[in-house]
């Protein structure tokens, strides 16, 4: 954390790749199987960047021990004290913002400007929950109008949590779980994605500097089927907050179903529709639809990867959209590489299938079988894709978007909802009654009208259908991390 913000020079000075350490009880520890490492690569060059401990069951147990030991004291620490520590964490993150942004950009492949936005949001995560806990309101009611018996609700921290996050917004999504977990008095073991572990490692140092008591938040590194699964299944873990792919979410639900008291929050994948009606101003709609499709190279669960346009403006939209994407979303500028060799292969296979099925490529092409230098994929705009094609149904999670026409409002709603996922959607129209009429019928936990990616941390965040279980944010996060009891007092 204190080394340098000139990360490239620092990397060049190293004779071997950096190796990370688990953070348990405020110490950086050796994992018990030191020969077991996971290689993590620089997406821009394809070269080895870091080695991540492939934590074993014993490492997971060790981290859970630390969190279990810390819980009795931390859960009784005053809100004021917890709040102060969270605000200190936010302050240190602010001081080190550029260091975090640079490493996030190197590790994940995102542009530096995107990384800065995400570090800002991570800071806000800590500030928001630090102050939320100071301002909670509660009500006392009197039974039968009698003052002799009062009733009220009381909440207490649940216990030790497993916090598991994906690789696309590493720091931002992990802190979205860590901040409420410790704010509401729980302790935890966090496991970032093995593909992008760098900023979680730096965050551990921030916890030490902020004097977060030992064991309150532990960070272990490792793969999903190994460390992740062991963590989720541990009987001493009383809740799981998970963000990642739908298949992993299903696995975690199966792995926890018998432990009925375990709190579970699953934030999963999306295949989100963008609906463009015939009354839009194209100079506003085109950049917004393009940003929603290609921000972070399409690797955001909320990206609008299926665009539907009213037939009256379809041709005009398409022409302007293609020109805008070609000019604005160039590889190396607004577009970074995709995160890994495996992900490059996955996205490429979808693009190849689109070619075989006869899709029209308005931008982009089938990527070379083996990436030459770094994992670069040109933004790809496709038309003439069938609704039942895998390209239209599956979350590709890369810089690939389909554009299709619709004729009526009813058809637009049908097309938007014709997908197993239900995370987010974007509507573009000037008609206020249509905003509500359509917005209230879309199967999506989040509906953005004439905007995208706007967040207010008090509002519920999460998906319908295959996109998840539960919501996070504000009181929804409180519900995940606390147990509720009702008292009647005579």
Question: To the nearest whole angstrom, how small is the minimum distance from the Cβ of residue 329 to ligand NAD?
Answer: 20
With residue 326 as reference, give the H or E element that holds it.
helix 311-328
Residues 316/309, Cβ–Cβ less than 8 Å: no
Tell me if 425 contacts ligand NAD by CB under 6 A: no
Q: Are 218 and 53 in contact (CB under 8 A)?
A: no
What is the number of alpha carbons within 13 Å of residue 463 lying toward its C-beta? 27
Q: How far is CA 447 from the centre of its chain?
A: 17
Phi, psi of 288 (to 5 degrees): -70, -45
Q: Check binding of 243 to ligand NAD (CB under 6 A).
A: yes
Q: CB under 6 A: which stretch of 81-89, 218-226, 280-288, 478-486 binds ligand NAD? A: 218-226
How far apart are CB 416 and ligand NAD at their closest, in Å?
A: 17
- Tell me if 110 contacts ligand NAD by CB under 6 A: no
Site string for ligand NAD, 434-463 (x = CB under 6 A): -----------------------------x
Answer yes or no whether residue 274 interacts with ligand NAD by CB under 6 A.
no
The answer to whether 473 and 458 have CB atoms below 8 angstroms apart is yes
Is 267 one of the annotated active-site residues of the chain? yes
Q: Which of 104, 118, 267, 472 is catalytic?
A: 267
In 3D space, the residue among 467, 464, 300 whose CA is nearest the CA of residue 397 turns out to be 300
Minimum distance from CB of 474 to ligand NAD (Å)?
15
CA dihedral 347, 246, 469, 256 (to 10 degrees): -150
> Which region among 23-31, 44-52, 237-245, 352-360 touches ligand NAD (by CB under 6 A)?
237-245
> Helix or strand or coil: residue 483?
strand
Q: Using the rule CB under 6 A, is 223 a contact of ligand NAD?
A: yes
**Under a CB-based contact definition with an 8 Å cutoff, are residues 163 and 178 in contact?**
yes
Task: Kindly write down the DSSP assignment for every residue of 156-219, as one continuous string.
Answer: EE--EEEEE--SSSHHHHHHHHHHHHHHTT-EEEEE--TTS-HHHHHHHHHHHHTTPPTTSEEE
Site string for ligand NAD, 169-208 (x = CB under 6 A): ----x-----------------x-xx--------------
Residue 64 binds to ligand NAD (criterion: CB under 6 A): no
423: contact with ligand NAD by CB under 6 A: yes
Subset of residues 135 to 174 that bind ligand NAD, contact rule: CB under 6 A: 164-168, 173
Interface ranges with ligand NAD (CB under 6 A): 164-168, 173, 191, 193-194, 223-225, 228-229, 232, 243-245, 248, 251-252, 267-270, 301, 395, 397, 423, 463, 468
Any idea which residues carry the catalytic annotation? 267
């Amino acid at each position: 954390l204190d080394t340098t913000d000139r990360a490239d020079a620092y990397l060049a000075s190293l004779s071997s790749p950096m190796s990370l350490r688990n953070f348990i009880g405020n110490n950086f520890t050796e994992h018990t199987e030191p020969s077991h490492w996971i290689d993590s690569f620089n997406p821009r060059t394809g070269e080895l960047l870091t080695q991540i401990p492939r934590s074993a069951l014993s490492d997971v147990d060790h981290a859970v021990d630390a969190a279990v030991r810390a819980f009795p004291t931390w859960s009784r620490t005053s809100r004021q004290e917890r709040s102060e520590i969270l605000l200190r964490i936010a302050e240190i993150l602010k001081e080190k913002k550029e260091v975090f942004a640079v490493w996030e950009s190197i590790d994940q492949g995102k542009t530096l400007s995107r990384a800065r936005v995400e570090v800002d949001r991570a800071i806000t995560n800590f500030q928001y929950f630090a102050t939320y806990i100071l301002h909670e309101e509660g009500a006392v009611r009197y039974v039968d109008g009698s003052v002799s018996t009062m009733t009220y609700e009381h909440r207490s921290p649940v216990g030790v949590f497993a916090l598991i996050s994906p690789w696309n917004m590493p720091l931002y999504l992990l802190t979205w779980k860590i901040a409420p977990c410790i704010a509401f008095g729980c302790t935890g073991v966090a496991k970032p994605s093995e593909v992008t572990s760098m900023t979680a490692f730096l965050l551990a140092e921030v916890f030490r500097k902020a004097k977060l008591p030992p064991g309150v938040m532990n960070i272990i590194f490792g793969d999903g089927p190994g460390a992740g699964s062991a963590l989720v299944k541990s009987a001493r873990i009383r809740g799981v907050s998970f963000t990642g792919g739908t298949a992993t979410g299903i696995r975690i639900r199966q792995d926890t179903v018998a432990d009925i008291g375990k709190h579970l929050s699953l934030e999963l994948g999306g295949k989100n529709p963008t609906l463009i009606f015939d009354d839009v101003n194209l100079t506003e709609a085109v950049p917004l639809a393009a940003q929603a499709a290609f921000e972070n190279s399409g690797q955001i669960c909320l990206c609008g990867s299926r665009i539907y346009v009213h037939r009256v403006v379809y041709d005009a939209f398409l022409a302007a959209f293609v020109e805008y994407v070609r000019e604005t979303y160039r590889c190396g500028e607004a577009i970074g590489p995709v995160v890994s060799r495996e992900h490059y292969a996955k996205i490429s296979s979808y693009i190849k299938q689109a070619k075989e099925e006869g899709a029209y490529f308005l931008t982009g092409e089938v990527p070379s079988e083996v990436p030459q230098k770094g994992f670069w994929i040109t933004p790809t705009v496709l038309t003439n894709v069938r609704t039942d094609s895998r390209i239209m149904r599956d979350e590709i999670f890369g810089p690939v978007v389909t554009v299709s026409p619709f004729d009526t409002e009813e058809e637009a709603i049908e097309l938007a909802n014709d997908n197993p996922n239900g995370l987010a959607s974007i509507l573009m129209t000037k008609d206020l009654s249509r905003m509500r009429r359509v917005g209230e019928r879309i199967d999506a936990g989040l509906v953005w009208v004439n905007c995208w990616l706007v967040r207010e941390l008090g509002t519920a965040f999460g998906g319908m259908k295959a996109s998840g279980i539960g919501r996070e944010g504000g009181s929804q996060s409180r519900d995940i991390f606390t147990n509720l009891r009702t008292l009647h007092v005579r």
